[in-house]
A and B are shown apart, each in its own frame.
Chain A
Amino acid sequence: QVQLVESGGGVVQPGRSLRLSCAAAGFTFSNYAMHWVRQAPGKGLEWVSLISDDGSGKYYADSVQGRFTISRDNSKNALYLQMNSLRPEDTAVYYCARGQQWLIKNWGQGALVTVSS
């Protein structure tokens, strides 16, 4: 059974940094691409970033390019999202998701990030 558990969310001031983590279980983590997707309160889904199974390929939405960095540690079955220079518009629930190549098949329950002074 695929399990994805996000952590590291919270309240942060504009311009500051935050790192989200996602603990994966129930599958061979190193065989799968992983995604981050976010959803602002009351809004739709926004794809944020994708990392390939071995970490060699990384892709970002224009809205976070240059500010966010996706990474993974296959020895720890862990996915990360380093978020720098945070803005109020980055306020959202951030979902970790497992990909079959680029298709998202499984989702975590999400972690809320609030950017506010």
Chain B
Amino acid sequence: IVLTQSPGTLSLSPGERATLSCRASLSVGRNYLVWYQQKPGQAPSLLIYDASTRATGIPDRFSGSGSGTDFTLTISRLEPEDSAVYYCQQYATSPLNFGGGTKVEIK
């Protein structure tokens, strides 16, 4: 399963809404789609799993949606600390491919 993320870069102001897309070449079984956040110089961290379940401690401004081949990560009100690269990954079928990432820049 190949995952394509868009856009490549998103440049928004604090308080704005960010919408990130992850499209799969085949349907992702059981909606086993996860979103990670990676800040510069750090390891990735878990945000959303099973397409829409927030991980422990993740603020409710982060939400995931979608099913089948189309998935979305939404950040409802951007904060400066949300500046990062966001990756989707499917964990239904080996190989457990990642998308290419979306960089979110805060103006």
Please list the residues of chain A having a beta carbon within 8 angstroms of any beta carbon in chain B. Answer: 35, 44-47, 50, 59-62, 95, 101-110
Closest 6 CB pairs of A and B: A107-B43, A102-B91, A59-B94, A47-B96, A45-B98, A44-B101
Q: How many residues on chain B are close to A (CB under 8 Å)?
A: 23
Compute how far the CA of A105 lies from the CA of B99 in the bound complex, rounded to whole angstroms: 17
B87 touches A (CB below 8 Å): yes
Residue of A nearest to B55 (CB): A105
Cross-chain contact A95 with B98 (CB below 8 angstroms): no
**How many contacts A-B (CB < 8 Å)?**
55
**Cα distance A47–B95 in the bound complex, in angstroms:** 8
A103 near B98: Cβ-Cβ < 8 Å: no
Whether B95 lies near A107 (C-beta < 8 A) is no
Q: State whether A109 touches B43 (Cβ < 8 A).
A: yes
Q: Give 23 pairs: A residue, B residue, CB < 8 Å, sorted on A.
A: A44-B85, A44-B101, A45-B44, A45-B87, A46-B98, A47-B95, A47-B96, A59-B96, A62-B95, A95-B43, A95-B44, A102-B32, A102-B92, A102-B94, A103-B34, A103-B91, A104-B89, A105-B46, A105-B49, A105-B55, A107-B44, A108-B43, A109-B43
- Report B64-107 CB contacts with A as 1/0, cut-off 8 Å: 00000000000000000000010101011011111111000000
